[in-house]
Amino acid sequence: MQTESVFQDPKLCRSLLERLDRVLNGQSMRFMEVCGTHTVAIFQSGLRSLLPANVTHLSGPGCPVCVTHDAEVAAFLDLAGRDNVILATFGDLLRVPGPGGSSLKHAKAQGARVEMVYSPLDSLRLAVGHPGDVVVFLGIGFETTAPTVAATLLTAQQRGIDNFCVFSLHKLVPPALRALLDDEGNGIEAFLLPGHVSTILGLEPYAFLAKEYHVPGVVGGFEPADILLALCLMAERRRDPAVVNAYPRAVDNAGNPRARALMERFFQPADALWRGLGRIPQSGLVLRPEYERMDAVRRLGITLPDAPPLPGCRCGDVLKGRLTPPQCPLFGKKCTPATPVGPCMVSTEGSCAAYYKYSE
């Protein structure tokens, strides 16, 4: 992919850094990204070490694993222990610890049937191969993932695969951005908007950022030059806030209407629990009432147990940008990737895990 390496060109990056410096003209800027891939890209490329001192990078609730609530984890761990259930899941959920400390990896080692899949469609193959069991796909992710899960539901419906259902824990990005900005004293001056999610949503769902909150938002790609360009545009739009697309080679301003239609055919918004942020109105997706057989919650009678807050964990403050990971008293001491206390340390795309892994 020759085209992508162009966006890692050191000269191009240097000139964008100079442009950023010029636009900022000595003023400071606090920006938040809300996408795990952005978090990792900023650290992994070394971009963080090159950002001017007056630019503050905040890592928001952008990692689907990190924002999966304790109660939701407890519910799917419970599901894994049931007879005649095979759980199909993306790999990065395997090591998320529930309230008791055990994870799907532990459950698997103790005999639960947990299968890692690379695409939701793979779980249909599992269902066909195990006609006596119910295959439950763990639907975790944002607007990028939900349409492929919807496509899987459509395929199951067309092929008459009855022993397949989805435990939908999908979350929506725009309501979370609103919740962050409604939080008093949040200190967020601009958003780096998620490139992948925006391929589906387009720009319109973010319009409220500029209109109602006067905060600019720039959709950015994932190579260093993409991110730097987004930062330059962000700095330029601070006086005249707008939502801008700096990733047109992947994101259409109108998004992907077909994918959205498919998503809306099977799912509808509902209130959802976010780890660290709590309950956010209309920020999750559940299956529509007519798809009861395909909805693991109703088909298998899943309820979310009460999960008490994790003692001492400040992930909520980290996700809101009030605290940088090293400022948390547990960071690197009680809370490490080997012994994660909070969600931000669990996933490789979590902000605490990224700080721990990449900071010298």
Question: Which residues contact other proteins (rule: CB under 8 A)?
Answer: 1, 4, 8-10, 13-14, 36-37, 40, 43-50, 64-65, 90-95, 116, 118, 140-142, 144-145, 196, 224, 337-338, 348-349, 357-360
Nearer to other proteins, 94 or 323 (CB): 94
Are 239 and 189 a contacting pair, CB within 8 Å?
no
Provide CB contacts within 8 A for 231, sequence distance 6+. 16, 20, 29, 31, 51, 55, 192, 218
Nearer to other proteins, 35 or 286 (CB): 35
CB of 92 to other proteins, least distance (A): 5
Least distance to other proteins, CB of residue 287, Å:
19
The answer to whether 290 and 281 are in contact (CB under 8 A) is: no
Q: Which helix (H) or strand (E) holds 149?
A: helix 146-159
Nearest approach, Cβ of residue 183 and other proteins (Å): 25
Burial of 95 (0-12, 13-18, 19+ CB in 10 A): middle
H-helix or E-strand spanning residue 116:
strand 114-116
Q: Which helix (H) or strand (E) holds 281?
A: strand 278-287
Select 37 or 283, whichever has its Cβ closest to other proteins.
Answer: 37
* Residue 36 beta carbon to other proteins: minimum distance, rounded to whole angstroms: 7
Task: CB nearer to other proteins: give 40 or 297.
Answer: 40
Residue closer to other proteins by CB (options 215, 228) is 228
b (16+ CB within 10 A) / e for 275-314? bbbeebeebbbbbeeebeebbbbebeebebeebeebeebb
Q: Smallest distance from the beta carbon of 329 to other proteins, in angstroms?
A: 21
